Structure 1
Amino acid sequence: MSVRLKSCLSVVAGLLMLGQALVANAQLPDFTPLVEQAAPAVVNISTRQKVPERVSSAQMPDLEGLPPMFREFFERNMPQGPRNPGGGGRQREAQSLGSGFIISADGYILTNNHVVADADEIIVRLSDRSELQAKLIGADPRTDVALLKVEGKDLPTVKLGKSDALKVGEWVLAIGSPFGFDHSVTAGIVSAKGRSLPNESYVPFIQTDVAINPGNSGGPLFNLNGEVVGINSQIFTRSGGFMGLSFAIPIDVALDVSNQLKKDGKVSRGWLGVVIQEVNKDLAESFGLDKPAGALVAQIMEDGPAAKSGLQVGDVILSLNGQPIVMSADLPHLVGGLKPGAKATMEIVREGARKNLDVTVGTLPAEGDEEVAGGVPGAERSSNRLGVTVAELSAEQRKALDIKGGVVIKEVLEGPAALIGLRPGDVITHLNNQAIDSIQEFTKVAQSLPKNRSVSMRVLREGRASFITFKLAE
C-alpha cells in the first residue's frame, strides 16, 4: 500500500472518529428541570353538565371535552339512539376532561372555552390531587379562551413568555391530561407560526408537532426557558387521532383576552367592516399586482370604518400599520388585535396604483346574516362571449343588498359564465374592475373584454361578495 493511500485512509478514519465523537456529545434537550418546575402549576379540569338522554350511558362515549375535530369524528360514526319517549324528562350527567394552568397565586386559571362551555360545574384538580370548585370569570368563543378562578393562596404559577419571540424549529413542550392521564409530558418543535384555520379568524395559531390528544386541550405549551408560549387547543386529524399537526393559541393573544375578561367580562376587538378574499395568481394579474399578496376587498359594510376611510370594493390591502398582508387571513389577526378607536394606516392598490388610507378602527359587532333578493322580470341577453342573461335590479333589491348598481343573472347559457360556476340569482356588480350600473353598462364592458388575460368579476351570492376570474379565448 502506497504512502499516499495510507495517508488518505488515515484522514478518512480521523474524520469518522470526529463524527462519532460529535454524535456522542450531541444531546437532545433535557426537559427534566422544566417539568419539575412547571408541572405543579398545570391542572386537570373536569366538568359536569346535565343533558337530555339519547342512549344509555354505557353506549354513550364522553364527547363534551373533545376538540371540535374529534367530536365531529365520533358523532359522525356513533349510532344515535332515540330520545327518551314521553318528553325527555330524564337527563344524564355528561362529563368532560381538559387541562389548564394557574397564572396567579390567588387562583386565576387559563384554559380553552370548549373545555368548560355550557358546564354546570367545573372542578379543578391540582398536582397534589386536591380538588377545588372553579368559577367561570368569562369566556371568548372566537379565540377559544376561558378564564377560571378558584379560591386559594400561594398557589404554584407558571412563568409567562412571549409567543412573538418563538422561532420555527424551536423546541416546545406540552403538559396536560390526555385521556385523563394527569401531567403527561410530550415534546416537539414549532412547525409554523401565524397559521389560520377555518372559522378561526382571530387567532394566528402556533403549529407544532407535539403530540396532543383529548384532555390536552387548555394545557400549556412551554419553551425551553420554562415559559408558557401558548395554549394547546386543536389538532388536525383525518382518523380521529394525533397526526403530527397540533395548534396552540399564542399566549400574547390569550393574555389580552383574559385581561379583558377579568376587567370587563367581555372582549372588544377592532373591526374594519369589510369582506375580504384571497388574492390568487389570476386576481393578482387582473388587478395589476406583481405577485399574489394582500387582502382583496369584496364587500364594504355601509357606514363602517372602512367605508368612512374611503376604502373601495376592488382595493387590495397590502399592509396595516406597516405590517405586510401576505395572506388575506393576516388582516383579521392584525385588525382584531387593535383596540376600538385606534388609528391605523392601510397601504392599498387601487387601479394599479399604490396609496395610503387612514382609518379609525371600529368595534367588532355581533355576527348577523344578510338576505339576498331574487331576480326580477325584464331580462336582456348579454354578449354571447359571457353566456348569461341578465336583468336590472329593482329599487327594493338594491336597498336589501345595500348596493347602488349591478345586474342580476336570470339564465346561464353555455360559455365562460357556466365554466366559472355562475348561477341564476347571482348579482354582478363589477366587471374588469369597472362598476356595473345597468344592463347597458354590463353589455358594453362585456363586449370590450380583453382576450387571453385574466379578467375579474365581482359577484354577490346569498349576501356574500367575492371576486372571481376568467379568461376569454381568441
Structure 2
Amino acid sequence: MRTIKRPSLKTVLKTSTVAGLAAVMLSTGIPAQVTASFAAPVSVTAPQAPSFADVVSAVSPAVVSVRVQSDEPQETADEGGNNFSFNFGGRGFDQLPDDHPLKRFFKEFGGQGGPDAPGGPGAGPRDRAERGGPGANRPHHLRPTAQGSGFFISEDGYVVTNNHVVSDGQAYTVVLNDGTELEAKLVGRDSRTDLALLKVDATSRKFTYVSFADDTKTRVGDWVVAVGNPFGLGGTVTAGIVSARGRDIGSGPYDDYIQVDAAVNRGNSGGPTFDLSGQVVGINTAIFSPSGGNVGIAFAIPASTAKDVINDLMKDGKVARGWLGVQIQPVTQDIADSLGLKEAAGALVVAPQEGSPGQKAGIKEGDIITAVNGQAIKDARELSRRIAGFGPDAKVKIDLWREGKMQDVTVTLGNMASDEAASAEPKQPDAPVPSTSKALASLGITVAPAEDGSGLAVTEVDPDSEAAARGLKNGEKILSVNNRKVATADDIGKVIEQARKDGRTRALFQVEAGGTSRFVALPIDES
C-alpha cells in the first residue's frame, strides 16, 4: 500500500512567497539571474573500430620510395604515375598552352610539379645535381623512368621492392619518410616472382627495418595495412582486409597471391602490406582495374615466397631453383575420368623436355604427377612451386599415375637457369594441313595421316561438336589417344572402343600445334 504525504501549510506558503517575489522582480524591472537548462549531448557506448595508428607509427620509418633512372625515353610511364599521359583533342599535355587551366593545375598539384618540376618526384638529373643531391655525380643522360615503393629488411640498408619497378634502371634512389635521399645499388632481381633487392650505401647510420610474417597464419578476413607512395605522394596509409588467398592472375608459373581490398594504386608497387603486429604479410605487386585506379582488388606476393627469394638474392644476387624439365597442364575432371582417376588433382605431363632430369628419370607424356616426396600435389601450379622450392641437384621422389596404376620415380633436379617456364597454353597453328580425310563422326572431327608421318592431322572440326568446344582446330595434330600412338583413324577407333569396354566415358587426346602439345579429353559415349 502506497502512502502519499501531503505538503504542510508552511511549505505551501513558503513556495508561494518565493514565486510571488520572482514575479514582483520581473514586473518591477529588477534584474534576475536565470540559468538555462539543456539536455545532455548524445553519447553512444559501442565497440570501437581498431586503430592502426600504433602500427603505422612503428613501421612508417621502414617504408621508402624508390626512384629509378635510366637512359630510356622520357615517354616511359613511371610506376609512381608522375609522367602524366593525357590527350586533349589530339594534343598531348605538353602541347597545351602555358595559360591553359589544366596545365596550370597539373603543374601545381600533379606530382608536385610534373616530370620536369625542380625538386618534384619527377625531377631530372640536372635538378638534383644543382641541389647537390644524390644525382649530383650521375651522368646527365639518365632520366627518371619509374617510381615505386619499398621497405628496409635490415638495419644496414637492404631494401625490398618489385622487379618491374627497377628492371630497366641504371641508377636508383631511395627516399626515406623524412625526405632524405640516398643512392642505392641493385643487388639482384627475380622476374618470376617480381621481386628485387637494393642496398643503400650508408655505413654511418642504422635503419628502421621490418620482418616477414608467417603468412600461412593469415586468414581471409584479417585486417591488413598497406603503406607506400601512390602517385609519388609518399607515406600513404590504407587499410582493408585479406579478400582471398592463392590467387592466380596469369603472371607466371608461381602465382600464389594474397588478394586484399586496401586501396593500392600506381606507385604502391614494391610496398609492404602489414598485419596488425607490424610484420610484412605481402609485397604489393598488381591491381585489377578497368580504369587504372583502385577498385578494391589488389594482389600481394606472400611473405613466405618473398622470404626465400630475398634470402637467395642477398646471398649471391640470384635465385637457384630446382628444374624438372617437363611441360605440364592442369588435370580437369574430364581428363581424370578419361584416365580412371577418382579426382581431378595433380599435374598432367604434356611432354618431357629432351635431356631434362624428368626425361632421364623416366617420366613420360601422359603421366599424372600426384605427389612430391610423399606430399600430394593439388594442381600444376603447386607442382611448379614445389619443384622450384628445391635447390639444384636435390633428389626428389615423384609419384605418378600411369596406365591405371601408381608408380614412382626418383629424380635428381637440374638448375633452372633461364626465365623460360613450362606453359600449358599451346601456340596456334600457322595454317591447316590439307589432305585426304576420313570422318570420325562420333567425335566431330576429320583426320588424315600427317605429312611428316607422325600422328594424324585434323583437317575439319564440326563447329557444334565437343571437340570444337574444347579448342580443337584445323591444322592441329593428334599424336596419341589414351597415351597410345595413333597413325590412322582406325587406330583412334580401336583405342576408343577399348576405353568404352573399360567403362570410361572420355578419351584423352594428345594434340600438337606450333611445336607445343596439350591434352584434351573428349566424350566417347555411343551416339
| Superposition TM-score tier, normalisation by shorter sequence | 0.7 to 0.9
Q: What does residue 41 of structure 1 align with?
A: 62
Q: What does residue 64 of structure 1 align with?
A: 78
Distance 1:422 1:336, change over 3 A: same
- Structure (1/2) with the larger strand percentage: 1
CA deviations 1:66-125 (Å, max 9, x no partner) are 69xxx9xx89999798xxxxxxxxx89343221100111111110001111212321111
- Contact kept in structure 1, 2:449 and 2:455, CA below 8 Å: no
* Alpha-carbon distance between aligned partners in 1 of 2:287 and 2:89, rounded to the nearest angstrom: 20
Distance 1:146 1:416, change over 3 A: closer
Matches within 5 A, 1:295-334: 295-334=347-386
CA deviations 1:160-206 (Å, max 9, x no partner) are 32223322222221110111221111112222222222132124212
- Contact kept in structure 2, 1:222 and 1:228, CA below 8 Å: yes
- Contact kept in structure 2, 1:317 and 1:325, CA below 8 Å: yes
Q: What does residue 133 of structure 1 align with?
A: 183
Distance 1:416 1:206, change over 3 A: closer
Letter aligned with residue 435 of structure 1: K
Q: What does residue 271 of structure 1 align with?
A: 323
* Alpha-carbon distance between aligned partners in 2 of 1:220 and 1:112, rounded to the nearest angstrom: 11
* Alpha-carbon distance between aligned partners in 1 of 2:328 and 2:145, rounded to the nearest angstrom: 40
CA deviations 1:41-65 (Å, max 9, x no partner) are 1101112233346xxxxxx6x6231
Q: What does residue 381 of structure 1 align with?
A: 438
Is 1:104 equivalent to 2:118 in the alignment? Answer: no
* Alpha-carbon distance between aligned partners in 2 of 1:368 and 1:227, rounded to the nearest angstrom: 33
Q: What does residue 186 of structure 1 align with?
A: 238
Distance 1:418 1:132, change over 3 A: closer
* Alpha-carbon distance between aligned partners in 2 of 1:208 and 1:309, rounded to the nearest angstrom: 41
* Alpha-carbon distance between aligned partners in 2 of 1:416 and 1:52, rounded to the nearest angstrom: 50
Cα deviation, residue 159, structure 1: 2.7
Match of 1:156 among 205, 208, 214: 208
Cα deviation, residue 409, structure 1: 3.1
Describe the SS at the equivalent of 1:136: strand
Q: What does residue 333 of structure 2 align with?
A: 281
RMSD, aligned CA? 3.5
* Alpha-carbon distance between aligned partners in 2 of 1:137 and 1:78, rounded to the nearest angstrom: 45
Is 1:29 equivalent to 2:50 in the alignment? Answer: yes
Q: What does residue 449 of structure 2 align with?
A: 391
- Contact kept in structure 1, 2:284 and 2:299, CA below 8 Å: yes
Matches within 5 A, 1:41-440: 41-52=62-73, 63-65=77-79, 93-152=143-202, 153-367=205-419, 379=436, 381=438, 383-386=440-443, 387-392=445-450, 394=452, 405-412=454-461, 417-418=467-468, 420-436=470-486
Cα deviation, residue 28, structure 1: 3.0
Describe the SS at the equivalent of 1:139: strand
Tell me the TM-score normalised to structure 1 length.
Answer: 0.79
* Alpha-carbon distance between aligned partners in 2 of 1:78 and 1:456, rounded to the nearest angstrom: 55
* Alpha-carbon distance between aligned partners in 1 of 2:237 and 2:169, rounded to the nearest angstrom: 27
- Contact kept in structure 2, 1:393 and 1:406, CA below 8 Å: no
Distance 1:191 1:343, change over 3 A: farther
Describe the SS at the equivalent of 2:379: coil
Letter aligned with residue 233 of structure 1: T
| Count of residue pairs the alignment pairs up | 426
- Contact kept in structure 1, 2:272 and 2:280, CA below 8 Å: yes
Distance 1:413 1:134, change over 3 A: same
Distance 1:157 1:452, change over 3 A: closer
Describe the SS at the equivalent of 2:72: strand
Distance 1:322 1:208, change over 3 A: farther
Distance 1:446 1:393, change over 3 A: farther
- Contact kept in structure 1, 2:496 and 2:507, CA below 8 Å: no
Distance 1:364 1:374, change over 3 A: farther
* Alpha-carbon distance between aligned partners in 2 of 1:39 and 1:388, rounded to the nearest angstrom: 65
Letter aligned with residue 165 of structure 1: K
- Contact kept in structure 2, 1:42 and 1:99, CA below 8 Å: yes
Cα deviation, residue 317, structure 1: 1.9
Q: What does residue 3 of structure 1 align with?
A: none
Name stretches of at least 5 consecutive residues in structure 2 with no aligned partner: 1-43, 93-140
CA deviations 1:321-368 (Å, max 9, x no partner) are 343322322211111111111122233322332333322222224256
Letter aligned with residue 185 of structure 2: K
Distance 1:465 1:40, change over 3 A: same
Describe the SS at the equivalent of 1:27: coil
- Contact kept in structure 2, 1:204 and 1:333, CA below 8 Å: no
CA deviations 1:415-453 (Å, max 9, x no partner) are 665554433431211113423256653454356664992
* Alpha-carbon distance between aligned partners in 2 of 1:80 and 1:447, rounded to the nearest angstrom: 67
Describe the SS at the equivalent of 1:366: coil
- Contact kept in structure 2, 1:212 and 1:235, CA below 8 Å: yes
Letter aligned with residue 258 of structure 1: I
- Contact kept in structure 2, 1:232 and 1:249, CA below 8 Å: yes
* Alpha-carbon distance between aligned partners in 2 of 1:48 and 1:379, rounded to the nearest angstrom: 60
* Alpha-carbon distance between aligned partners in 1 of 2:431 and 2:496, rounded to the nearest angstrom: 23
Share of identical aligned residues, percent?
39
Distance 1:368 1:186, change over 3 A: closer
* Alpha-carbon distance between aligned partners in 2 of 1:264 and 1:437, rounded to the nearest angstrom: 51
Tell me the TM-score normalised to structure 2 length.
Answer: 0.72
Describe the SS at the equivalent of 1:200: coil
Letter aligned with residue 359 of structure 1: V
Does 363-372 or 35-44 show the bigger shift? 363-372
Distance 1:421 1:229, change over 3 A: closer
Letter aligned with residue 117 of structure 1: S
Cα deviation, residue 269, structure 1: 1.3
Distance 1:458 1:35, change over 3 A: same
- Contact kept in structure 2, 1:296 and 1:314, CA below 8 Å: yes
- Contact kept in structure 1, 2:67 and 2:144, CA below 8 Å: no
